[in-house]
Amino acid sequence: MIAPVVDAAWVREHRADVVLADVRWYLDGRSGRDAYDGGHLPGAVFVDLDTRLAGPATPAGGRHPLPEPEAFARAMGELGIGDGDTVVAYDDAGGITAARLVWMLRATGHDAALLDGGLTAWDEPLETEPVVRAPASFTARPWPADRIATADDAADPANVVVDGRTRERYLGLDDPVDARWGHVPGARSLPVRENVADDGRVLPVEALRRRFAAVGIDGTAPVVSYCGSGVNACHTLLLAEHAGLGGGRLFPGSWSAWSADETRPVATGEA
């Protein structure tokens, strides 16, 4: 399988053999589609997070639950992504959104990687015309149980549970989207944006290993990753794999599902 992170030079070398996917999305309500239309990598298709990479929001499932396998397969096929395609996804935020598509594809056995640095790493002209690929055959596969965590798994002290949201949201000082503020008791703060350097590229592997080791991710402990709604948490899992520390499990409902359940306790401040 392709490495979880590739650079622009790799993409240029293998351009004829990959499908580029633009997965820009913004928590503040800006339109990812508008950003794509304003300029995207040549040949890239736009993948809408809300309609292609998530099922309908529910209190129990959170804001971005994983879609049913059949719905995901249909979405990929309509975008022209087939079973045998290699996908390289990007955004303009260090990959923290594009990681959702990459994780979903890799979890179901498909070749996919993040473009390191995303849009900012591309030093060639962009295109503005939308890209439409011919429909492709994409087989529905169940989400593997060993890659998925539940709320009970997030509550289990036997797991290393990491929270990928901003430090402020973890501490319970600010949360623009959820009614209850704070974090899952026992979870450690590991903001995904801090996995990325100022230039938009992921940190060197040794730096990532030090960051992950500081919260207990050492390649041996079982890891559960969550964030606000199960999107950015995929970035943590991909970079742990990139750093040689295993894959871990995604809690898809993440904080949006946990905080909606009044029976679940909430912690604030430092873990």
Question: Positive or negative, the Cα torsion across 8, 29, 100, 170?
Answer: positive
Q: Give residue 183's pLDDT.
A: 98
| pLDDT grade for 270, boundaries at 50, 70 and 90 | confident
Phi, psi (deg, nearest 5) at residue 189: -80, 125
Locate 58 and state its tokens: 């529910």
Average pLDDT of span 154-158: 97
Q: Give residue 228's pLDDT.
A: 96
Specify whether 227 is catalytic. Answer: yes
Q: Would you say residue 271 has pLDDT above 80? A: no
Q: Please name which of 188, 178, 249 lies closest in space to residue 213, comparing C-alpha atoms.
A: 188
Q: How many residues does the chain have?
A: 271
Give me the catalytic one of 115, 227, 233, 234.
Answer: 227
Quick: pLDDT tens for 197-253. 999 999 999 999 999 999 999 999 999 999 999 999 999 999 999 999 998 999 999
CB-side exposure of 9: number of CA atoms within 13 Å? 0
Q: Would you say residue 1 has pLDDT above 90? A: no
Q: What is the CATH number of domain 145-260?
A: 3.40.250.10
Quick: pLDDT tens for 79-134. 999 999 999 999 999 999 999 999 999 999 999 999 999 999 998 999 999 999 99
Q: Would you say residue 21 has pLDDT above 90? A: yes
Q: Please name which of 251, 102, 232 lies closest in space to residue 177, comparing C-alpha atoms.
A: 232
CATH ID of 5-121, from 3.40.50.150, 2.102.10.10, 2.40.170.20, 3.40.250.10: 3.40.250.10
Specify the 3-state DSSP secondary structure of 158.
Answer: coil
Quick: pLDDT tens for 38-55. 999 999 999 999 999 999
Average pLDDT of span 168-178: 92
Locate 5 and state its tokens: 């992170």
d(CA 92, CA 39): 11
Q: Would you say residue 75 has pLDDT above 90? A: yes
Give the position of tokens 């591309």: 122
Measured CA distances, 78 to 34, 75, 138, 169, 194 (Å): 20, 5, 9, 36, 34
Q: What is the pTM of this model?
A: 0.96
Locate 18 and state its tokens: 């990959």
Locate 240 and state its tokens: 């742990």
Query: To the nearest whole percent, how much of the chain has pLDDT over 90?
Result: 94
CATH 3.40.250.10: which residues of the chain?
5-121, 145-260
Locate 17 and state its tokens: 């053999």
